[in-house]
Amino acid sequence: MLYIVETTKDVESAARDLEEAVKRNKFGVLHVHDLQKTLKEKGVDFPNACRILEVCNPQRANQVLTQNMAVNMALPCRISVYEEGGRTKIGMVKPTALLAMFSGAEALRAVAEEVERETIKMIEEAK
């Protein structure tokens, strides 16, 4: 259900490299959440660095949304770069696992598998 890899890079470098990999692979970065910063602004001193990238390929999104609009609740894809136990990790919930929660998922399986291969490739390029 999850795809997580470790990298020797720090969170900031890995997030920057992931952003570049996303663009090279014809996806767009819609937003980057800095979880640690956001929590600090809310008065919570969270110790772990964490960047969450919301990524999207408009053509793939159109393919799934025209077949099942409810899938919008699982979009855009989120890839996290975070620190845990002194190590930097890059991970995501696999698109095939997310899609399996929706009715009619089998009809969209090929698209989910394609997006999963592409996002795994981006993560591997960034690590």
pLDDT tens digit at each of 127 positions of the chain: 999 999 999 999 999 999 999 999 999 999 999 999 999 999 999 999 999 999 999 999 999 999 999 999 999 999 999 999 999 999 999 999 998 888 887 888 999 999 999 999 999 999 9
Label residue 35 exposed, middle or buried (CB < 10 Å: 0-12, 13-18, 19+).
Answer: middle
- In CATH, the number for domain 2-126 is 3.30.310.70
CA–CA distance, 87 with 102 (Å, rounded to integer): 34
DSSP bridge pairs for 92: 3
Distance of CA 1 to the CA centre of its chain: 13
- Start-end of H helices in 1-127: 11-24, 35-41, 58-67, 95-99, 105-126
Would you kindly state where each structural domain of the chain is located, as residue ranges? 2-126
